Every structure is written in structure tokens, then in C-alpha cells.
Structure 1
């Protein structure tokens, strides 16, 4: 990138980061809502009250796309594959069924509600894997638009909040063990912060197990994103023009490499934690850029349809997770 081209991005990046900082702060104070949601909301409010000037548009688009990819790479530094696989392997069978259920429901109900394919995919991925992080990883791989990311993130956020209050109550009603509830929360609640909040309110043992299960589930980002990227490219180009190297989401390779570095112990735990925190901030910045690009009139045109799809995906994952546990006698 030449100096002249780089300077075109600076104003947009600067305004995005200026808004992302208070969003990050609010997220630390109210983690149940989280910085990415605050970032998107503050971005939308800013766009309504004082739209960014034209000179900022290039930088805002750059932040929403490339910083989003960089954030996913940095998130890999919080993964220790040995710990994740040692404990999380017990949940792999359940994850297979819950991920399948989320995608089947997203496809069928999304078609019935006449939602755009990308919106349905993002809601399905966010429900099946790990909420906002999965949406962040998948969006660039399927060339999702800003409004589709916004629909999906806001829908996932709504059911994150609901899960924190509903899951512990249902767990006690069903007389689930700590192991059973941790497995349920780790495989059926969308976002990591909500998994932690719900499972630790049930018990410390449930919280410890649910966190590891959730980290294992996060690794599913890798195969799912690669598969979706290839499918998307196949749809938009003739087979003769299909180029795997151009289609492949290379930032996922960066995520895996960061996970391997974290697991190997080459970097200290403190450095890995700092890099992962930087990645989480970049997600906030990217979601802020998405908010700055949103047209509320376009969002309003979809009404409650994304929420209905999110509800169906969320309910299917929760029920399937319980059903598989019951069948395997893990309660």
C-alpha cells in the first residue's frame, strides 16, 4: 500500500477508534452486553447525529473488513489446544448435532422468512459456534454486507441476554448435575461472556467445565469458515473460474497459527493474553465501523424476521444439546 493510499484510510480509522474506546470501556463495565454491541450502537448513534464526512468512508470500510480479520487472528492467542482438547473432546458429539441443527434450522426457516442468505448464515453460525466471534470470522469469508452483520449481531445479543437468566432456572428445574449443566451451557449458549455468566451462577464446577467446552466449540470456526468460503465462491463463479487460493479465508490460517503459538509456550501467557485482548478490541472497532455504515431504514425493512430466526436456531440448539446428553446419559 502506497503512502497516498494509506493516508486515505487514516481519517476513517481514527474516527472509528475514537468511538471504539468508550465502547470498550462500557463493555468492561457491563460485560453481559459487551463491547462489540456497544461499538455498533455508538456507531449507529454517531451516524444518525453527525454522519462521518466522505473522507472517512474508505477508512471505515477498511476497519470493518481488514481489522475484523486481524481480530480473529489475534483471538487465537487465547487458545491452548492441549487444555481444550483434553476436556472439550467429551463435548464433540454434542457439538456435531447442535451445529447441524443450527444450520438446518437457519437454512429452512431463513428461506421461509425470506431472509437474505448471508443473514441466515451469520445467525446460524453465531448460534452454532460462538456468537460475535463466529460472525466476525464468517462475515468476510462470505462477503457479508454491513447491515447483514448488524442484523446478526443484534439478534445473537438478544438471546445471549435471555440465556443468562433462563438456562440456570431450567437447569435447576431439570436437576442437572454440574457436569451436565456445564456441557449444556457450553454447547448451547451463544457468546463466551454469557456462557461464563450463566454457568458460574449455577456453580463454580459448572462454570469451569462450560468455559473449556466453549473454547473447544470456538475452534469449530476453522472448518466452518473454510467450508462456507468455498461454497460462497462456488455460487458466485463458474467452476472453471473457481480458484481455491483466492477463495480461501487465509486469516483463519492465522487464527490456527496463533493457537499453535499459544499452545507451544513460545510466547508467555501474559503476552498471549495481551494479544487476545487486542483482538477483542479490534472486534469492537470493526463493529463500530459497521454501525457507522448502517442505514436504519434498510434494517427496519427486515422487521422481526431475524429475531424469529434467531429464536428458532437458539431453541433448536438448546433442545438438541439436552436431547443428546439425555441419550448419552451425561446428566
Structure 2
């Protein structure tokens, strides 16, 4: 029989373990935001100001992993950032999509956006096969190139069961290549026989991130910027049906290969994305008046949550694996991006 002394000394252990676990969880989340802050500061430096906070934070996270190793003690909090905060950021991202504007003024653009998305994914996957590149990273890069960069990669990654490391590699590459292309667009702008509106559409249907479209389209003036962002929002609009399409493909392939249906977790965060899009399109600013400061604050919160999530993913990246796995997908994506720019130029 257990003595009373033993029982007395064992009773406080469980609360102490819970308290320690909670501190580790909070510490992990705080750690990802700390590196996100360093990424924000690095993005202010010359050269990195075109790369952006997201990619800068991932670079710092990857370097931290190589020099100091993975911080195992606070793994639970880092995992929370890389998974839960990521989904929360995608939900908030829905506020950037004005469904009414897209449906009213952008139906013609949506058709071209659909062509662009299909082209980017299929060509990237095809080139990856020719180059014998990593299939998962190449698919993520094709999705990011075709739809909306890091947000699309983050949304599709859990559906295609991507490893955290592969997701982080994909986001880092998409940010780097997208920035290079956006700067190239601004250099080419004076030499292209395109009107401001045509240039804006070209930027919106071919560049990777919303930030890249804004950077490239700005030299064309306000009209170019407005139509460019509208074209880009059409691609964001197609993210949801694309996610459900990939859910169907994953289940079908699982049935064929394993003779049993592969369990694909339903991406509930996409429902939140849709709800926030509806709220942003038809509630905020109409039924509920809100200030621009509020919208900007939500956008800032989205960026910080997404950056912290990417830090969590970046801490899983091994540079050795990066050298082995990322070069060929990068080549495939680079070729696809060039071909996509040419295609978009002729369908504008």
C-alpha cells in the first residue's frame, strides 16, 4: 500500500508539469514572434527591403537552426505557430478578398486567372518530372506561382500532406523569385508597348504575391495598380475551389494506390477564409462602418501571424537537405515563371 508520505509528495507533480508545459508553449510562440521581429527589422535594410518581412524571417529561422539546432524545449509553442497561427492567418487573409468587386468587374480576368493557374501548376510539375526534381516542393511552387504565393502554399500544404520543411522551402523560394520578377517588371515597364491598364493586368495575372503585384504595378500609376490588384484578387478567389479540387485528387489517388480511401483532413480554415471574405465584402464598410486604420491593423496582424508561422516552418529546414532538394524545383519554377510572364503578356 502506498504510504501517505508518498501520496503527499506526488500530488503537486501534475500541476507542476502542466505549468512547465504551458511556459514552454508560450515560450515557443514568443520565440517565433521574436524572430519575426528580427525579420521585420532585417526587411528595413537595403536589399532586403525588396525581399520583405516574410522571407527575411525565414532566412533568420533557417540560419538559427543550422547554428544552434532546433529548440526542442519549446517545440510545442513553435508547432502551434507553424500550424494553428498559420491557419488563423489564412482566415484573416480572407478580408483582403472583395468578392463583390471580383464578381462585378473581374469576371473576364477570372477566366485568364484560371488559365494562368492551370498553366503554372501543370508546367511546373511537368518540368519537375523532366528534371527529376522533388515532386512535393515542385507542386507547392507551381501552386504558389499560379495562385498567390505563400498564402496558397500554406493553404494547400496540409491538404497534400507536405512536410513543414518542404513548405518552408517553397515559401522562401516563392518570395525570392517573386521579388526578382517584380523588380524586373519595373525595369521593363518603359520598354513595353502596353498601356497602363494592360501593364497592370499583366502584372496581376503573372506575378506571385500581392506584394509583388503592388511593387511592379505602381510605376504604371493608380489605374495600373488598381486593375493589377483586381486581377490578383481573382487568383486568390480561385484558391478555395483549387483546394477542394486537390482534396478530391488526393482521395482518388489514395483509393487507386492503397485500395483504400486516403483520409484527407477537411481544411476547416478555408470555411473561415470564405466567411471572412463575405464579411469583408458585404458587412464591413456597409452594414458595419469601419475605418481604414482598422483594416490596416487586421492586415498587419495577418502579416505578423503568417510570419511567425513561417518562422516555425523555417526552423525545420536543414541546409543540407535544402541543397539537395531545392535546386531542381527552383529551376523548374524559374522556367515556369518566365513562360508564364510570356503567356500573360500575349493574353492581356
Same fold, TM exceeding 0.5? Answer: yes
Asked which structure has the greater RCO (Cα within 8 Å, sep 6+), the reply is 1
Q: How is 1:1-331 mapped onto 2 (pairs within 5 angstroms)? A: 4=18, 9-27=25-43, 31-236=49-254, 238=258, 240-242=260-262, 247-266=265-284, 267=288, 268-269=290-291, 270-302=293-325, 304-325=327-348
| CA shift for structure 1 position 181 | 0.6
Between Structure 1 and Structure 2, how many residues are aligned? 322
1:124-177 CA deviation, whole Å, 9 max, x = no partner? 111101111211212222221122123322321232222223223444333101
Q: Distance in 1 between matches of 2:42 and 2:277?
A: 28
Compare CA radii of gyration and give the structure with the larger one: 2
- Secondary structure in 2 aligned to 1:301? helix
Deviates more, 1:267-276 or 1:154-163: 267-276
| CA shift for structure 1 position 49 | 2.8
Q: Distance in 1 between matches of 2:262 and 2:321?
A: 32
Q: Distance in 1 between matches of 2:158 and 2:84?
A: 9
Q: Distance in 1 between matches of 2:67 and 2:27?
A: 18
Structure 1 unmatched ranges of 5 or more: 326-331
Give 4+ residue runs of structure 1 displaced > 6 Å after superposition.
none
Structure 2 unmatched ranges of 5 or more: 1-14
1:248-275 CA deviation, whole Å, 9 max, x = no partner? 2111111010011111224524434322
Q: Distance in 2 between matches of 1:200 and 1:224?
A: 29
TM-score, normalization by structure 2: 0.84
TM-score, normalization by structure 1: 0.88
Deviates more, 1:290-299 or 1:150-159: 150-159
Conserved in 1, the CA contact under 8 Å of 2:218 and 2:225?
yes
Conserved in 1, the CA contact under 8 Å of 2:254 and 2:262?
no
Q: Distance in 1 between matches of 2:249 and 2:296?
A: 34
RMSD: 2.4
* Partner in structure 1 of residue 10 of structure 2: none
| CA shift for structure 1 position 60 | 1.7
